[in-house]
Chains A and B, each alone.
Chain A
Amino acid sequence: MIRYLARRLGQSALTVFLTVTAVFVLVRLAPGDPASAYAGPTASPEDLARVRAQLGLDESVLAQYGIFLRGLLHGDAGMSYSFRAPALEVVLGRLPYTVTLAVAAILVTAVVAIPLGVWMARRADTAREIGASVLTVAGQSMPDFWSGVMLLTVFAVLVPVLPASGFTTWAGLVLPAVTVAVLQIALISRLVRREMAAALAAPYLTVARARGVSERALVWRYGMGNSLIPVLTALGTRFAALLNGVVVVEVVFAWPGVGSLVVRALETRDYPLIQATVLVTAALAIAVHLLVDVCYPLLDPRVRLGKAAAA
């Protein structure tokens, strides 16, 4: 167990390290001059040279990489050019907003998608279920920027009952969370349907039904109980994906999270900020994955981590 955990941790750290290195190389390969973005449009060449020296951009890429790694060991990902503050601090300051949005969206998803999926499994292939499954396909086919803007049009413009942007009141959470949840509900409910259909057709359920177990217990206790692992895994995976992937929705709703931050960092070529964002989000996503894996044996006594590691 300990060996397994240590190995997983090592692998995760390696993945994060490789990711950050890849980003470091990428941003330096690219054309464009962060010094000019930093110094503004009226800067003279001398200004630019000074800014370059100040930001360490006049060093060789290898030397910059060395400085960067040394900084990381001290928990320092460099100063953001556009915020003129430690990049890691800026990202961590935005993180609670993104986590809030992700948590809210995943809660909405779980509350809607699991009952919906169960219902679809029990009514499989009836006319109404076909309708519902076409709807889930539609949910998964809507570009999130579009559904976001449409929700915004309806609930903030036509019937102005909800705030359109930012997070100044709790109501501001509704539209972005629902927008994010639409896609997740579609994905998770389809998964639940598939898992439940398999569980409901299993012989032990027929036996249980023959022995007079109530239909509700049949579905929720035996059926759902056995479909829980893949569903929870999927919820965990989706949550991890949300932590680094709500860029579009954050932009649509001016949500002050990490996603809208990264769009801005890219626009201004804010190297340290881009690196810090990728570092934080990748580490977070990998941590969630790890957590989900470690929880397997707790949820299902048949699973042993040693085996998982060997497979």
Chain B
Amino acid sequence: MSVPVSSSPLPPSPGDSSPARPSAVTPRVLARSRASRQRRATRVKLWLGAGCTLVVVVPILLAGLLPLPGPNEQDLAQRRLPPLSGGHLFGTDQLGRDLLSRVLHGGQVSLAIGVLAVVVSGVIGVLAGAAAGYFGGGVDAVVCRLLEAQLSLPLLMMLLLVVALFGPSVPVITLVIAVAQWPELARLTRSLVLVEREKPYIAAARVLGLRRGVILARHVLPNVARPASLVVLLLVAQAVLLESALSYLGAGPQRPFATWGRIISDGQDYITTSWWLITLPGLVIVLLVVGVNLLGDALREATRRGRKADA
């Protein structure tokens, strides 16, 4: 996902506003034009993304209210039932627990960790990036060195190290993922602030005698918040993936907590007989992450075009 910021600007798209005057440019031609095709693609992604996300997120949020057995409620007589049998939509696992219920409750943990981690990394990343971009000099140098150092580190290895060493509790995992993600936001914020800092209204504020900290907090940050927030969705997707990888490798919260990675790694022991134990939870993860990614993509494209139209 890390693409050098400098290489991203798209070529200016041909004008897309249709003047109301007689023209050979019929609506059909317009519909086939590059701009409307782009708009359509964005719309498809937006709806598809929203659909996938909601299909997963809504049941997860309502997991407690749905008529499902508890995630740890076991019935040893009903072990590893295939999907759609005995009233279990997703079947049951090796201890006769309802797989759907475990996936949904596990999703609560995964989503909570993902969102929390992104909030924490957002705070760290935006503050550090803004400070680096606005104050420059020593602050900038320190932040940039830190970013560089972290980007050259074996990420998953370091995360595993920290979790293995400090115990796999929810706060530790959240923090670890947050620390893993702050560079992305910091870099983006820094480049946005660098642009914003040179604008006339900042100069005006400075002339008015506002202190630098106040200018940064009151005037610069609100203006960079919106573009920066667009990355957040992508980061949530990444965080969910990271969390499931960690718990797959055994660095998840204590049992009997269901987490996505653990459901799959437990299910792997039954790979030749019970396909649903790995396939279904994996599909749920993919559905959610695809949804969130598409949504993020679409929103980014839409704003990028929106900005260009404004300009």
**Touch between A and B in complex, CB under 8 Å?**
yes
Determine how close the nearest CB of chain B comes to the CB of A143; give it in whole angstroms: 5
Within 8 Å CB of A144, what residues of B?
245
Determine how close the nearest CB of chain A comes to the CB of B158; give it in whole angstroms: 8
Q: Which of A36-44, A57-65, A260-268 contacts B (4 or more CB under 8 A)?
A: A260-268
| A286 & B152 in contact (Cβ 8 Å cutoff) | yes
| B286 & A138 in contact (Cβ 8 Å cutoff) | yes
Given contacts A26-B161, A138-B290, A141-B286, contact A191 B3 (CB under 8 A): yes
| A125 & B38 in contact (Cβ 8 Å cutoff) | yes
Given contacts A126-B37, A278-B154, contact A27 B165 (CB under 8 A): yes
Q: Which of A264-297 contact B (CB under 8 A)?
A: 266-267, 274, 277-278, 281-282, 285-286, 289
Determine how close the nearest CB of chain B comes to the CB of A206; give it in whole angstroms: 11
Within 8 Å CB of B254, what residues of A?
none
Determine how close the nearest CB of chain B comes to the CB of A95; give it in whole angstroms: 13
Q: Which of A121-152 contact B (CB under 8 A)?
A: 124-126, 129-130, 133-134, 137-138, 140-146, 149-150, 152
Determine how close the nearest CB of chain B comes to the CB of A168; give it in whole angstroms: 20
Q: Is A19 an interface residue (CB 8 A)?
A: yes
Residue-wise, chain A 73-88 has the 8 Å CB interface mask toward B (1 for contact) of 0000000000000000
| B278 & A146 in contact (Cβ 8 Å cutoff) | yes
Determine how close the nearest CB of chain B comes to the CB of A171; give it in whole angstroms: 19
Inter-chain CA distance A130–B39, complex, in Å, is 12
| A282 & B153 in contact (Cβ 8 Å cutoff) | yes
Inter-chain CA distance A118–B170, complex, in Å, is 43
Minimum CB distance partner of A137 in chain B: B293
| A146 & B286 in contact (Cβ 8 Å cutoff) | yes
Minimum CB distance partner of A157 in chain B: B272
Given contacts A277-B157, A278-B154, contact A247 B249 (CB under 8 A): yes
Given contacts A29-B165, A143-B285, contact A230 B7 (CB under 8 A): yes
Q: Which of A45-53, A104-112, A192-200, A216-224 contacts B (4 or more CB under 8 A)?
A: A192-200
Minimum CB distance partner of B167 in chain A: A31
Q: Is B77 an interface residue (CB 8 A)?
A: no
**Which of B148, B152, B244, B268 has the most chain A CB atoms closer than 10 A to its own CB?**
B152
The answer, among A26, A134, A282, A285, for a CB contact under 8 Å with B294, is A134
Within 8 Å CB of B282, what residues of A?
142-143, 146, 149-150
Within 8 Å CB of A233, what residues of B?
4
Q: Is B279 an interface residue (CB 8 A)?
A: yes
| B44 & A130 in contact (Cβ 8 Å cutoff) | yes
The answer, among A134, A274, A278, for a CB contact under 8 Å with B45, is A134
Inter-chain CA distance A146–B263, complex, in Å, is 11
Interface positions of B (Cβ within 8 A of A): 1-4, 7-11, 34, 37-38, 40-41, 44-45, 48, 148-149, 152-158, 160-162, 164-167, 237, 241, 244-245, 248-249, 261, 264-265, 268, 271-272, 275, 278-279, 282, 285-286, 289-290, 293-294, 297
Known: A137-B294, A230-B4, A245-B156. 13 other contacts (CB 8 A): A18-B149, A130-B41, A138-B286, A141-B237, A141-B286, A141-B293, A143-B261, A150-B282, A251-B249, A259-B157, A278-B154, A278-B161, A285-B154
A to B CB contacts below 8 Å, 10 in the list: A15-B148, A137-B290, A140-B293, A141-B293, A149-B268, A153-B278, A153-B279, A194-B3, A194-B10, A245-B155
Interface positions of A (Cβ within 8 A of B): 15, 18-19, 23, 26-27, 29-32, 124-126, 129-130, 133-134, 137-138, 140-146, 149-150, 152-153, 157, 187, 191, 194-195, 197-198, 201-202, 230, 233-234, 237, 240, 244-245, 247-248, 251, 259, 262-263, 266-267, 274, 277-278, 281-282, 285-286, 289
**Minimum-distance CB pairs A-B, first 4:** A30-B165, A244-B154, A141-B289, A146-B282
